[in-house]
Structure 1
Amino acid sequence: MRILIVVASLSGNTRELGRHIAARCRAAGHAVHWQDADDLRQAPPLPVDEADLVLLGCWTDNAGRTPSEMKAWVAGIAERGQRPRQVAVFGTGETQWGQEYYCGAVHRLIRYFHSGYPPLEIEQMPHGRRHAAAIDTWTDAVLDHYWSTTDADHRRHHA
């Protein structure tokens, strides 16, 4: 499977989370392509509409907002007429700003892309065995969900 991971990271927390997810996907035998959301000067390593699965990683800005670099990335693909086939979203947040805002960007992106995948939310920097296990479990669940959805689509179209 061809996976595109696009990350918006302010302090490095979300980038670290994305690296762990990328390593897990590679270990499962998938081709992983990485793009920083704020690097719009470079052509994407894999066009969004050619990726089997797009994993978006994002921190959350003030009052639960999506940061400007991820908004610009989403606007860019929309302007090019690219629509990802399937999208899963992960992110980092801080509950100290209020539970109602925690990982708000993750939920906004899920709604925007009508994603049926569960979110992965990590408080601040991913660290320790508990986070590593949660990240691995989420990544495996996303990959399993992709295959179950793809198999169902394949059966539906060939029935």
Structure 2
Amino acid sequence: MNILIAYATYSGNTKEAAELIADCLEEAGHAVGFHWIGGEPVPDVSGYDALILGSFTWAEGSVPEEVKDFILDVGYKPPNTFIFGTGDTQFGLFCRAAVKLARFYESPLPPLKIEQSPRGGQEEAVREWTHHVVERLVCGSAIAD
């Protein structure tokens, strides 16, 4: 499968999570495209079998403006969209943007929520979530849900 990972990042944590997800997908034999939201022109999402969208949470639990612009530029809700987010648990609305995006896209899986950097103790959670994404795509249950 051909999977696009699109992400918005300021601190680099969301990019780091995107790279770890890509590693897992490539290990499973899938092709991965990358798109840095806000830093590159929006690719043709229709050329991919799935979209994995990553975002940090902004201000009072908001989706960042550049992610909203990306959604508008894509112009439709691609099937097989999966969401991950990075955040800091010291704020009351931890990864709230990821929750909002998963609801908007009617994602077949709950969003992956990462506390700051995915490295270290959270790598296994990223691998497990990515494994579930692959299962959904390969088995076709992402479309059937």
TM-score by length of 1: 0.84
CA distance in 2, matches of 1:91, 1:152: 22
Counting helix residues as a fraction of each chain, which structure ranks higher? Answer: 1
In percent, how many aligned pairs have the same letter?
Answer: 36
Give the length in aligned residue pairs: 144
2:41 is the counterpart of 1:50: no
1:132-151 → structure 2 map (5 Å cutoff): 132-150=123-141
CA distance in 1, matches of 2:8, 2:142: 31
Give deviations 1:98-152, integer Å, cap 9, x for gaps: 1xx1101101111111112121101111221x31111111100111022233597
2:30 corresponding residue in structure 1:
30
Instruction: Give the CA RMSD over aligned residues.
Output: 1.6
Q: Is the 8 A contact 2:42 2:74 kept in 1?
A: no
Name stretches of at least 5 consecutive residues in structure 1 with no aligned partner. Answer: 154-159
Structure showing greater radius of gyration is 1
Q: Partner of 1:64: helix, strand, or coil?
A: coil
Change in Cα spacing, 1:138 to 1:72, as seen in structure 2 (3 Å) is: same
Runs of 4+ in 1 over 2 A off after TM superposition: 147-153
Please, which moves more after superposition, 144-153 or 57-66? 144-153
2:2 corresponding residue in structure 1:
2
2:17 corresponding residue in structure 1:
17
2:95 is the counterpart of 1:103: yes
Q: Partner of 2:77: helix, strand, or coil?
A: coil
Give deviations 1:69-93, integer Å, cap 9, x for gaps: 1111011111xxx431210000101
Name stretches of at least 5 consecutive residues in structure 2 with no aligned partner. Answer: none
CA distance in 2, matches of 1:88, 1:148: 15
CA distance in 2, matches of 1:43, 1:69: 11
| Letter aligned with residue 39 of structure 2 | D
Q: Partner of 1:19: helix, strand, or coil?
A: helix
Q: CA deviation at 1:50?
A: 2.2
| Letter aligned with residue 101 of structure 2 | L
Q: CA deviation at 1:39?
A: 2.4
Q: Partner of 1:57: helix, strand, or coil?
A: strand
TM-score by length of 2: 0.92
Give deviations 1:15-56, integer Å, cap 9, x for gaps: 00000000110111101000001124x352xx2122111000
